[in-house]
């Protein structure tokens, strides 16, 4: 199962159009694989988010 990286709810559970629109401007908050809250660091040139189980994602 995959989860929304903004709200943490299952992607199959409904529409996540508002989450997708918000994600254009902000970093992910939840790991899409395990639904854990990620450690997020916002930098002037982008962001990095780290899940303790699945590692880092950055932009």
Instruction: Assess if residue 39 is contained within a domain.
Output: yes
Instruction: Assess if residue 6 is contained within a domain.
Output: no
Instruction: Assess if residue 4 is contained within a domain.
Output: no
Q: Which domain holds residue 16?
A: 11-58
Instruction: Assess if residue 46 is contained within a domain.
Output: yes
Cβ partners under 8 Å of residue 2, min gap 6 = 10, 11, 32, 33
pLDDT of residue 13: 80
pTM of the predicted protein model: 0.86
Instruction: Assess if residue 2 is contained within a domain.
Output: no
Q: With bands split at pLDDT 50, 70 and 90, how would you rate the model's confidence at 58?
A: confident
pLDDT of residue 1: 75
Instruction: Assess if residue 1 is contained within a domain.
Output: no
Q: Domain total for the chain?
A: 1
Instruction: Assess if residue 5 is contained within a domain.
Output: no
Cβ partners under 8 Å of residue 59, min gap 6 = 27, 46, 47, 48
The answer to whether 18 and 10 are in contact (CB under 8 A) is: no
- pLDDT per residue over 3-46, tens digit each? 999 999 999 988 999 999 999 889 999 999 999 999 999 999 99
Instruction: Assess if residue 54 is contained within a domain.
Output: yes
Distance between first and last Cα of the chain: 24
């Amino acid at each position: 199962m995959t989860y929304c990286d903004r709200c943490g709810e299952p992607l199959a559970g409904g529409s996540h159009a508002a989450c997708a629109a918000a994600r254009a401007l902000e970093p992910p908050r939840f790991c899409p694989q395990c639904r854990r809250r990620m450690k997020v660091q916002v930098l002037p040139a982008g962001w990095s988010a780290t899940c303790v189980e699945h590692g880092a994602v950055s932009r």
